[in-house]
Amino acid sequence: MSKMLPKTCEGLQMSAVEAQQAIWKIAPRDWIGKRKAAITKVARELGWKFARTWNIAHGRARRIDAHEMDALRAELNKLQESAINRRESLNELEARVAFLRSLEGGGNAGGSGEGASPLGGRGDGAGEGGVRAGERAASVV
C-alpha cells in the first residue's frame, strides 16, 4: 500500500504541471505581458472562475479534477486542429502564389522572370538602362 502512495502523488504533481503548461499554451501569445488579461480570457474560454484558473496557471492548485484536465486537453486539441487548418491554408496560398509567379515569369523571353515586372523592365521603376524617370545616369554630364 505504501508503494502506491508515491505513484499517486507523482501522478497528481504531473497533472498539475501539465495543467499549468496547458493554460499558458491556451493563453493568447500577444497578451504575454498582460498576464491577468490572458488568464481572464482562458477562464472565459473554459467556463472557469478566474481564481481557479489563476491558481492552476501559477502552480498553486492543490488538485486538478479529471473534468478540468479533460477541458484543458479538449481546448489544446481544438487549438492544434486550428493550427493545422491555418497551416494547410497557408500551404494552399503559397502554392497559388508560386503558380501565379510561374505564369508571370513565363511570358518573358530569355529570362527566369526573377526581378521582372509583368509590364516589362525590372519592376523597380527604372526604364531602359536602369535609370529611373527624372534621374540622370552618372556618365551623362
Sign of the dihedral through C-alpha 124, 126, 132, 138:
positive
Q: Does a structural domain hold residue 129? A: no
CA distances from residue 37 to 26, 56, 98 in whole angstroms, order as listed = 13, 15, 40
Q: Does a structural domain hold residue 123? A: no
Q: Is residue 3 predicted with pLDDT exceeding 80?
A: no
Nearest residue to 64 (alpha-carbon basis) of 48, 87, 85: 48
Q: Does a structural domain hold residue 135? A: no
Q: Does a structural domain hold residue 126? A: no
For 84, counting Cβ atoms within 10 Å of its Cβ (0-12 exposed, 13-18 middle, 19+ buried), the class is exposed
Domain count, the chain: 1
Top pLDDT among 22 and 110 is at 22
Measured N-to-C along each axis, helices 66-106 and 35-46 cross at an angle, to the nearest 10 degrees, of: 110
Q: Does a structural domain hold residue 33? A: yes
Contact, 24 vs 76, CB < 8 A? no
User: Which residues constitute the domain of residue 28?
Assistant: 8-101
Q: Does a structural domain hold residue 140? A: no
Q: Does a structural domain hold residue 116? A: no
Pick from 12-16, 34-38, 98-102: least confident = 12-16
What residues contact residue 23 under an 8 Å CB cut-off, 6+ apart?
A: 39, 42, 53, 56, 57, 72
Q: Does a structural domain hold residue 119? A: no
Place of cell 503559397: 94
| Distance between CA atoms of residues 138 and 129, nearest Å | 12
Confidence of residue 2 (pLDDT cuts 50, 70, 90): very low
pLDDT at position 16: 86
Q: Is residue 92 predicted with pLDDT exceeding 80?
A: yes
